């Protein structure tokens, strides 16, 4: 994944810090915002795992710390649920200004309640997904049980949550009670996915039921059976991310694979605005070629010469396995490592400025795995030079070009 640290201001002027993750092999087709749980941070293991899963499916994902938490500025004691909603709105404004307005909101626990509240004020949002969300924000007061009376009588109290100390003020409790999520869900007007574990000991499964029955269609429920509230198992978080991405594909703008038609085995198409990022149709398969960033590309795929080297490596591997199987030799696996460069021919070593003195050179190293004797290894090395792609590269080649009429 490609990630970068970003900063933006919330409505109170506090500087919030986030991480924006981008797909490694394409421009994001959609952007999503992830809102973490009460007193958590953007760096919670489950948050990172789930965000990575979405990014692998082509989403750009912004996860950030709410005011006063993690790396974000501000006084946590002065925050409340409404402030969290405002932070999400600020994150959406940042994405819209710098990249693209978000189409998907994802929230965990109280963050799930916050994205439900924020969605109605964000026209670009088409879909909302919650994980272990409470049906009423004041549900989090169970974490404050031992301090509730002190907060009410003294106006604030120091509480311990997850081994960390936080100051909670009475205005925080008052604000929680002012929000009724079932009514929000009823008027959401966006596709809703509710993910919840039946074994959640922090926010019971009854909360998911209440949100689900209040919401209008399109709505969906997925059971995260066996998961705990924090999705501590990486596999649970990755699963949730994949489910959210696939579900959202029905509701957010989703790119359709380019249908390139050709009578040839391979066709390449490059749009003017795509730099060097080239879409390929190879047989029935869609692939991407590109150039490195330092050459002006996006590095979303192998370079043309890397594709040629890949063809040589693949063909060599296939040829050696085919020969070994025919002979009944114990070749368990073969690795072919190939790289390309232009090097001086032996008789032109002193001609540094003459490009014609350089020849195309493929360096190929082969690892043969299995109980082969020296005679078998030597023979397979000879066979490697007989692979069809090797012969093509090593023989005179003619390329015939013509223009296709519009």
Give the range among 126-140, 154-168, 388-402 with minimum mean pLDDT.
Answer: 154-168
- Give DSSP secondary structure letters for 163-221: TEEEEEEHHHHHHHHT--HHHHHHT--SEEEEEE-TT-SSS-HHHHHHHHHHSPSSEEE
Q: How far is CA 298 from the centre of its chain?
A: 17
Total tally of structural domains belonging to the chain: 2
**Can you give the pLDDT at residue 354?**
53
In 49-90 the beta strands, taken as DSSP E runs, fall at 59-64
Is 119 inside any structural domain? yes
User: Within this chain, do residues 237 and 316 fall inside the same structural domain, yes or no?
Assistant: no
Distances, alpha carbon 239 to alpha carbons 50, 115, 172, 195, 229, in Å: 8, 20, 33, 11, 14
Give the range among 22-36, 170-184, 289-303, 389-403 with minimum mean pLDDT.
Answer: 170-184
Is 269 inside any structural domain? no
Q: At what angle do helices 81-98 and 170-177 cross, to 10 degrees?
A: 80
Show which of 248, 264, 282 is a domain's final residue: 248
CB atoms within 10 A of CB 35: 31
**Can you give the pLDDT at residue 351?**
47
Q: 198 forms bridges with which residues in the sheet?
A: none
Average pLDDT over residues 352-357: 56
Is 281 inside any structural domain? no
Look at residue 47 and give its three-state secondary structure: helix
Is 294 inside any structural domain? no
User: Within this chain, do residues 318 and 242 fall inside the same structural domain, yes or no?
Assistant: no
Is 193 inside any structural domain? yes
Omega prior to 218 cis, within 30 of 0: yes
Show which of 220, 248, 276 is a domain's final residue: 248
Q: Is 267 exposed, middle or buried (0-12, 13-18, 19+ CB in 10 A)?
A: middle
**Can you give the pLDDT at residue 348?**
45
User: Within this chain, do residues 91 and 203 fall inside the same structural domain, yes or no?
Assistant: yes
From the list 174, 148, 134, 169, the residue with the least C-alpha distance to 38 is 134
Q: Which residue range(s) make up the domain with 349?
A: 302-393
User: Within this chain, do residues 232 and 324 fall inside the same structural domain, yes or no?
Assistant: no
Highest-confidence segment of 101-115, 261-275, 291-305: 101-115
**Can you give the pLDDT at residue 356?**
59
Is 265 inside any structural domain? no
- Banded model confidence at residue 137, pLDDT cuts 50, 70, 90: confident
**What secondary structure letter does DSSP report for 42?**
T
User: Within this chain, do residues 117 and 188 fall inside the same structural domain, yes or no?
Assistant: yes
Whether the CB-CB separation of 287 and 301 falls below 8 Å is answered with yes
Q: Which pair of tokens denotes residue 47? A: 């948050």
User: Within this chain, do residues 36 and 112 fall inside the same structural domain, yes or no?
Assistant: yes
pLDDT tens-digit map of 58-93: 999 999 999 999 999 999 888 888 999 999 999 999
More confident residue, 39 or 316: 316
Give the range among 84-88, 354-358, 394-398 with minimum mean pLDDT.
Answer: 354-358
CATH number at residue 385: 3.30.300.20
Average pLDDT over residues 259-263: 77
Q: Which residue has the tokens 């109605």?
A: 120
Show which of 232, 248, 264 is a domain's final residue: 248
User: Within this chain, do residues 232 and 114 fall inside the same structural domain, yes or no?
Assistant: yes
Kind and range of the H or E element at 244? helix 234-248
Highest-confidence segment of 171-180, 244-253, 298-307: 244-253
- Banded model confidence at residue 274, pLDDT cuts 50, 70, 90: confident
- Banded model confidence at residue 95, pLDDT cuts 50, 70, 90: very high
Task: Assess whether pLDDT exceeds 90 at residue 234.
Answer: no
Is 144 inside any structural domain? no
pTM: 0.78
Whether the CB-CB separation of 312 and 364 falls below 8 Å is answered with yes
Is 289 inside any structural domain? no
CATH number at residue 91: 3.40.50.1820
pLDDT tens-digit map of 176-192: 777 778 888 999 999 99
Average pLDDT over residues 257-262: 73
User: Within this chain, do residues 36 and 127 fall inside the same structural domain, yes or no?
Assistant: yes
| Arithmetic mean of pLDDT over the chain | 90
User: Within this chain, do residues 241 and 334 fall inside the same structural domain, yes or no?
Assistant: no
User: Within this chain, do residues 47 and 196 fall inside the same structural domain, yes or no?
Assistant: yes
Average pLDDT over residues 226-233: 93
User: Within this chain, do residues 199 and 87 fall inside the same structural domain, yes or no?
Assistant: yes
User: Within this chain, do residues 242 and 311 fall inside the same structural domain, yes or no?
Assistant: no
**Can you give the pLDDT at residue 152?**
79
Task: Assess whether pLDDT exceeds 70 at residue 162.
Answer: no
Q: Which residue has the tokens 């996915």?
A: 193
Distance CA 356, CA 367 (A): 33
**Can you give the pLDDT at residue 59?**
97
**Can you give the pLDDT at residue 156?**
73
Task: Assess whether pLDDT exceeds 60 at residue 146.
Answer: yes
Task: Assess whether pLDDT exceeds 80 at residue 135.
Answer: yes
């Amino acid at each position: 994944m490609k990630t970068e640290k970003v900063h933006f201001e919330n409505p109170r002027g506090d500087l919030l810090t986030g991480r924006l993750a981008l797909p490694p092999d394409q421009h994001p087709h959609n952007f999503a915002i992830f809102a973490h749980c009460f007193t958590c941070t953007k760096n919670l293991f489950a948050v990172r795992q789930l965000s990575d899963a979405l990014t692998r499916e082509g989403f750009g994902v912004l996860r950030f710390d709410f005011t006063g938490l993690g790396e974000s500025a501000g006084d946590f004691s002065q925050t409340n649920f409404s402030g969290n909603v405002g932070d999400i709105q600020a994150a959406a404004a940042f994405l819209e200004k710098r990249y693209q307005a978000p189409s998907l909101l994802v929230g965990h626990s109280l963050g799930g309640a916050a994205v439900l509240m924020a969605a109605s004020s964000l026209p670009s949002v088409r879909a909302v997904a919650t994980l272990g969300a409470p049906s009423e924000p004041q549900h989090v007061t169970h974490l404050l049980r031992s301090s509730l009376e002190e907060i009410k009588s003294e106006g604030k109290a120091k509480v311990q949550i997850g081994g960390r100390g936080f100051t909670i003020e009475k205005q925080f409790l008052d604000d929680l009670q002012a929000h009724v999520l079932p009514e929000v869900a009823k008027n959401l007007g966006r596709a809703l996915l509710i993910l919840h574990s039946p074994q959640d000991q922090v926010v019971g499964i009854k909360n998911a039921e209440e949100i689900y029955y209040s919401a209008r269609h399109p709505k969906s429920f997925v059971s995260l059976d066996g998961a705990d509230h924090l999705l501590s198992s990486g596999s649970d978080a990755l699963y949730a991310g994949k489910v959210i991405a696939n579900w959202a594909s029905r509701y957010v703008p989703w790119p359709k694979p380019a249908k390139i038609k050709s009578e040839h085995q391979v066709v390449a198409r490059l749009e003017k605005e795509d730099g060097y990022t080239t879409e390929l149709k190879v047989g029935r398969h869609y692939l991407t070629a590109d150039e490195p960033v330092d050459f002006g590309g996006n590095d979303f795929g192998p370079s043309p010469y890397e594709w040629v080297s890949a063809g040589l490596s693949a063909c060599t591997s296939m040829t050696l396995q085919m020969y070994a199987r025919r002979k009944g030799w114990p070749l368990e696996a073969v690795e072919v490592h190939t790289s390309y460069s232009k090097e001086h021919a032996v008789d032109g070593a002193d001609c540094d400025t003459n490009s014609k003195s350089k020849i195309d050179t493929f360096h190929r190293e082969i690892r043969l795995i299995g109980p082969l004797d020296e005679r078998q290894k030597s023979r397979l090395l000879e066979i490697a030079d007989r692979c069809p792609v090797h012969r093509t590269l090593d023989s005179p080649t003619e390329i015939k070009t013509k223009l296709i009429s519009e």
